[in-house]
């Protein structure tokens, strides 16, 4: 159903509306998610190799994910409207998801075991 025309008879669209392709948006989010998983792998291996144990290992996850978000913001710039709806969506979305957390812990314990146990 077509919306009613304005009283003056013009059929112009509002100027503040932008087109947004949801497939591209989901692809961008998926790419960032996979990059977060790779950051968790690298962070877990490095954390295990340097011998961090206990609660400080989880703090390393926070540091690695923050470093990743900072590098991503530095590369894309603060104005990410071309790729994402909000900047926080790019920087924080899925940063501490179960997949990211479990991947970090898996590679952390694996690297620690290889270097210090075996």
Average pLDDT, stretch 17-36? 82
The DSSP code sequence of 45-70 is HHHHHTT--THHHHHHHHHHHHHHHH
Say whether pLDDT at 9 is over 80: no
Percent of the chain with pLDDT over 90: 36
Which is higher by pLDDT, 1 or 99? 99
Write the burial class of residue 96 (CB in 10 Å: 0-12 exposed, 13-18 middle, 19+ buried): middle
Rounded alpha-carbon distances, angstroms, from residue 51 to 15, 17, 54: 57, 53, 10
pLDDT for res 101: 92
Q: How far apart are CA 86 and CA 67, in angstroms?
A: 19
pLDDT for res 39: 92
Q: pTM of the entire structure?
A: 0.76
Torsion of CA 56, 62, 66, 72, to 10 degrees: 120
Q: How far apart are CA 70 and CA 79, in angstroms?
A: 13
Average pLDDT, stretch 15-23? 71
The pLDDT tens digits of the residues spanning 33-86 come to 898 999 999 999 999 999 999 999 989 999 998 898 888 888 877 667 777 777
């Amino acid at each position: 159903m077509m919306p009613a025309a304005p009283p003056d008879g013009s059929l112009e669209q509002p100027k503040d509306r932008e087109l947004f392709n949801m497939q591209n948006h989901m692809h961008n989010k998926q790419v960032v998610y996979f990059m977060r998983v790779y950051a968790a792998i690298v962070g877990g291996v490095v954390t295990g190799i340097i011998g961090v144990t206990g609660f400080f290992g989880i703090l390393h996850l926070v540091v690695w994910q923050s470093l990743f978000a900072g590098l991503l913001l530095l590369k894309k710039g603060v104005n990410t409207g071309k790729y994402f709806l909000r900047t926080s969506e790019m920087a924080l979305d899925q940063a501490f998801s179960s997949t990211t957390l479990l991947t970090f812990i898996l590679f952390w314990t694996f690297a620690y075991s290889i270097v210090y146990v075996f």
